[in-house]
Amino acid sequence: MTSASHLPQPGKIIAVHVNYPSRAAQRGRTPVAPSYFLKPATSVAESGVAIERPAGCELLAFEGEIGLVIGRTARRVEPAEGWSYVSAVTAANDFGVYDLRYADRGSNLRSKGGDGFTPLGPTTIPADAVDPARLRVRTWLNGELVQEDTTKDLLFPFGQLIADLSQLSTLEPGDVILTGTPAGASVARPGDVVEVEVDALDKPGGGLTTGRLTTPVVEGTVTLREFGALPKVDDVQRAEAWGSAAAAGLPPEFTLTDELAAKLGRVATATLSAQLRKRGYNNVSIDGLTSTRPDTRLLGRARTLRYIPNREDLFRSHGGGHNAQKRAFDSLRSGDVLVIEARGERGTGTVGDILALRAQVLGAAGIVTDGGVRDLAAVAALDIPTYHAGGHPAVLGRRHVPWDVDVTVACGGASVQPGDVIVGDGDGVLVIPPHLVEEVVDAAIEQEREEEFIAEQVATGAGVDGLYPMNAEWKARYAAWLTTR
């Protein structure tokens, strides 16, 4: 074993986004090919050197990893040969500040490139002394084991990573590849100590270990200046940094349970609208649309797709291939309602029969667009309900460029966010914020009970004065009526 302090300064540090099945499961997505980002050489730190959580930041996350040290020049090598280009393995910690993720758009330079954000060491293990499929990585936070996994079932074995990277970029001696982190990565705070160790499972008691790479966390004192991106977090970043909403101390994520869906299926949108209005929500109806299946109830969670006005160069760059429109439809799941922002533009189609059929096959609950529909007769013949602003034969590129998926959109005069509950019937379509659903639907059920009682009284000749709405006398009669139900 060699002290990591004797490692040459790496020319490149290349990190893999996701490589452990446990991490992929935690994130809810499994990549089909490896993807990477670069970290500057100035981010390297030795064991025992403290890392600063930048002043004003909340979410400094650790990721224990196995680092591969390249031993000889690699260019266009085969996967079977890849491991032979590794001279040593070491423990690594891929620190990152989630407060700055929004500013990087995937490059991770600001969020993961700070000084000291790539501790390596404290020693290395010779690559020719270990089996690359029999390594283990473990991470401790304040002495508690929080990450443990092996390289047995990596999504992308080490040899494949080296072969893939060397297709386009020459790997040079001293370069370091961070090979991904398993589940359990989370947040460290000032005063915490994070430790990472890599060892060889096929050499029990043989001493083939990197030892513990130790990184104390301290609070930064220099505030980030306004000539660059400033820290910004939301609950999505908190959940990702901590590993889950529960670990971040956030309220449980809303779930549209079967019981709740059954309740929503019992009440009309008109009643739900009245209850939303009582709570100050007057702008939650998606207006001006017609349903292809007016007798079919629409109920599900919103997924969103946004079109921008057509501009020829933007359509050339964003309209072809697996564009945002196709990605949105291909990613639909059971119970999703795809809500499309088309700016009320009816002079072209926003969905046709093939994509509507794709949504139906994937189990989507419906489609809502404030634009036109191509192949309207064929779309109307499908089981899936589509709310639309009218038919039109023209293709998408006449008026629109498919632009964004799963962002806040405006549709039919209403703001819709991914995850909102969408309810539709013959009266129209409503958007219900998730935190209001249970309260609103219970109140709506009670309202419809009262209206059933009132209708019975009116049918037998009672006048509406004092009955609709009910005064104290009628409320007493209603209470007695309930006991007979």
Read off the CATH number of the domain in which 170 is found. Answer: 3.90.850.10
Residues 237 and 295 in one domain: no
213 beta partners: 196
pLDDT single digits (tens) 351-393: 999 999 999 999 999 999 999 999 999 999 999 999 999 999 9
- The verdict on 128 and 209 lying in the same domain is yes
Considering the domain architecture, whether residues 409 and 449 belong to the same structural domain is answered as no
Pair (364, 464) in one structural domain: no
Instruction: State the total domains in the chain.
Output: 3
Element (H, E) at 260: helix 258-264
| Tokens coding 73 | 């020049």
The verdict on pTM exceeding 0.85 is no
Tell me if 259 is assigned to some domain. Answer: no
357 part of a folded domain: yes
Q: Given this model, what pLDDT does residue 201 score?
A: 86
* DSSP conformational letter for 129: G
Q: What pLDDT does 373 receive?
A: 97
Dihedral Cα 292, 298, 303, 308, nearest 10 deg: 30
Same domain, 298 and 390: yes
Query: Residue 420: which pLDDT band, with cuts at 50, 70 and 90?
Result: very high
Give the pLDDT mean for 115-144. 96
Q: By three-state DSSP, how is residue 379 classified? A: helix
Q: What Cα–Cα distance (Å) separates residue 360 from each residue in 257, 305, 383, 405?
A: 21, 17, 7, 19
Q: What is the pLDDT of residue 205?
A: 52
Mean pLDDT of 219-227: 87
Q: Pick the last residue of a domain from 242, 273, 306.
A: 242
Asked whether the predicted pLDDT for residue 5 surpasses 90, the reply is: no
Residue 43 covered by a domain: yes
Residue range 13-29: mean pLDDT, rounded: 92
Distance CA(134)–CA(149), nearest Å, equals 10
Same domain for 235 and 316? no
Q: Which of 191, 216, 242 is the last residue of a domain?
A: 242
Clarify whether residues 340 and 451 are in a common domain: no
Residues 313 and 453 reside in one and the same domain: no
Instruction: Give the model confidence (pLDDT) of 66-101 as tens digits.
Output: 999 999 999 999 999 999 999 999 999 999 999 999
Query: Lowest-confidence range among 8-17, 380-389, 422-431?
Result: 8-17
Would you place residue 485 in the very low, low, confident or very high pLDDT band (cuts 50, 70, 90)?
confident
User: Looking at the structure, do residues 39 and 114 belong to the same domain, yes or no?
Assistant: yes
Q: Give the integer Cα–Cα distance in Å for 383 and 378.
A: 11
Do 21 and 120 belong to one domain? yes
pLDDT value of residue 409: 97
- Asked if residue 172 is part of any domain, the answer here is yes
Of the residues 398, 417, 432, the one at which a domain ends:
432
Q: What angle do CA 288, 292, 297 make, to 5 degrees?
A: 90
> Tell me: the pLDDT tens digits for 442-461?
999 999 999 999 999 999 99
CATH number of the CATH domain containing 338: 3.50.30.40
Q: Considering only CA atoms, which of 336, 338, 383 is closest in space to residue 364? A: 336
The C-alpha atoms of residue 70 and residue 212 are separated, in whole angstroms, by 21
Q: Does 130 score more than 70 pLDDT?
A: yes
State the Cα–Cα distance between residues 96 and 93, nearest whole angstrom.
9
Helix (H) or strand (E) holding 261: helix 258-264
Q: To 10 degrees, the CA torsion angle through 7, 9, 12, 13?
A: 60
Query: Has residue 36 been placed in a domain?
Result: yes
C-alpha to C-alpha distances, 320 to 402, 403, 438, nearest whole angstrom: 9, 11, 42
Position 286 pLDDT exceeds 90: yes
Dihedral angle sign, alpha carbons of residues 18, 20, 26, 31: positive
* Residues 155 and 40 both lie in one domain: yes
Please tell me the predicted confidence (pLDDT) of residue 410. 97
What's phi and psi for 14, nearest 5 deg?
-115, 125
Query: Tokens 């007769």 correspond to what residue?
Result: 377
Query: Is there a domain that residue 459 lies in?
Result: yes
Inside any domain, residue 265: no
- Note down the domain range covering 88: 2-242
Q: What pLDDT, on the 0 to 100 scale, is given for residue 3?
A: 54
**Residue 115 forms part of a structural domain:** yes
Q: Judge if 30 and 80 occupy the same domain.
A: yes
Q: What is the rounded distance in angstroms from the CA atom of residue 438 to the CA atom of residue 78? A: 57
